[in-house]
Amino acid sequence: MANVSVTHYSSTGTNTAMAKAVADGASDSGAKTRVRIVPETASLDAIATNPRWKAFFDKNGAEPIGCLGFRRRGQTILLLGDRGSRRTHTQ
């Protein structure tokens, strides 16, 4: 059985939805999957400037946190994130 870890960054939930869809597809193919979101590094003031970002941050504060340092043997890792959109939010 394959192991697939989908580690992602999401400010408003778009990448989280994509990460979950990727994991669902891999799971449907027989893989053992896990989805992890990386910690938010923006300030609360920056997050508050975008209502969608703040709503996502408030809702998902307890999501499992991922990092690149953890990897199981034989695991495929997929990373998702949009640094460009994040940069526009953290001026």
Quick check: 3 and 29 in contact, CB under 8 A? no
pLDDT recorded at residue 39: 83
pLDDT recorded at residue 65: 72
**Sequence ranges of the domains in the chain:** 3-89
Specify the fold of 3-89: Rossmann fold (3.40.50)
pLDDT recorded at residue 72: 61
pLDDT recorded at residue 27: 94
Q: pLDDT in tens for each of the 91 residues of the chain?
A: 788 888 888 889 998 999 999 999 999 999 989 888 888 888 899 999 999 999 999 998 756 676 655 556 656 666 667 654 443 333 3
Query: Among 7, 5, 23, which Cα is nearest to 80's?
Result: 7
